[in-house]
Structure 1
Amino acid sequence: MTLSDKLTRDQVRDAFNRNLTYADLCGIDIRALQGFIAIECARHDRKLASKGELLMLMQPSCLKKHAPNISASTERPGIYEAFLRVDGRYWQGREAVSFNGDGFIGIAGWADDNNVQPFLRGFMRWLKEWMNCTRGIPRSAIADPAAYAAALAC
């Protein structure tokens, strides 16, 4: 893969499953994921602005009813499920990432293959830089090669 290649939802799910389970996650980790996604959405808009294109203007949801919803597991350490939402120019509360109770991880199911990229890059950066994962994470998953090199140096 090169930096110009697009990630897929299945690649991200596979990278997660190779490295982690829900038992490895806590609420702080989910909030950190929200931050990585916010940064990648802003980068996506900066790239669109440099081309004179219409911005997506996505950000973590601001309304209380769309705040991160994180449920702890009662049977084991970690989370049972968690839901992150995003607001856009004309809508509020769409799925950003969902860690469903059945183990399925949903990633911006409403978005096409182009508009999902900031969510996928944010998720991969989170895996690498926050969760310290290494298996199944392609170099191209990190939008900023300098940040990727710095993460590898840690």
Structure 2
Amino acid sequence: MTTEEARQYFKDCGLSYADIKEPDFWLLVAMVSKELSEFVFSSHAYEDKGNMTINKKTLKFTFTKKGLKNAFIEVDGPYFKGREAISFNRDGFIGFAGWAGGNNADPFIKGFVKWCDMIKEGLK
């Protein structure tokens, strides 16, 4: 699945920022972390399993009574720190690892899609 398809999936699930509460955000962090632990990061100089991790110290998020306002999840890797994993921007745009080439955005997209399914089910 591409990043554009993941954004559309969020919409197709009938989700909006108003549906996302703080516990839901932490669930997303956990689900992406699980995907990262099983993922083989590919780069020119490094291939290893489970070597990207969410930096919980740099998580930034704002919630109001109406739900999520914005959030930024960053990831650290073998030769970088603080790169975008998933961002929920104030204008409604959801970003996925804009820095990643090849299949390196896969764990973020897979975790996000699984999370969408769980949030959607919880709204029924």
Structure 2: stretches of 5+ with no match in the other structure? none
Q: Is the 8 A contact 2:73 2:86 kept in 1?
A: yes
Spell out the pairing of 1:3-152 with structure 2 (5 A cutoff).
7-18=1-12, 19-45=14-40, 54-55=47-48, 57-62=51-56, 64=57, 66=58, 68-73=59-64, 77-128=66-117, 130-132=118-120
User: Normalising to structure 2: TM-score of the pair?
Assistant: 0.84
Instruction: Report the Cα distance in structure 1 between the residues aligned to 2:24 and 2:84, rounded to whole angstroms.
Output: 17
The number of equivalent residue pairs is 116
Instruction: Report the Cα distance in structure 2 between the residues aligned to 1:81 and 1:107, rounded to whole angstroms.
Output: 14
Structure 1: stretches of 5+ with no match in the other structure? 1-6, 134-154
After TM superposition, the runs of 4+ consecutive aligned structure 1 residues lying more than 2 A away are none
Q: CA deviation at 1:113?
A: 3.3
Q: Which has the larger radius of gyration?
A: 1
Instruction: Report the Cα distance in structure 2 between the residues aligned to 1:72 and 1:126, rounded to whole angstroms.
Output: 18
Q: Quote the RMSD (CA, aligned, Å).
A: 1.9
Q: Is the 8 A contact 2:72 2:86 kept in 1?
A: yes
Higher strand share: 2
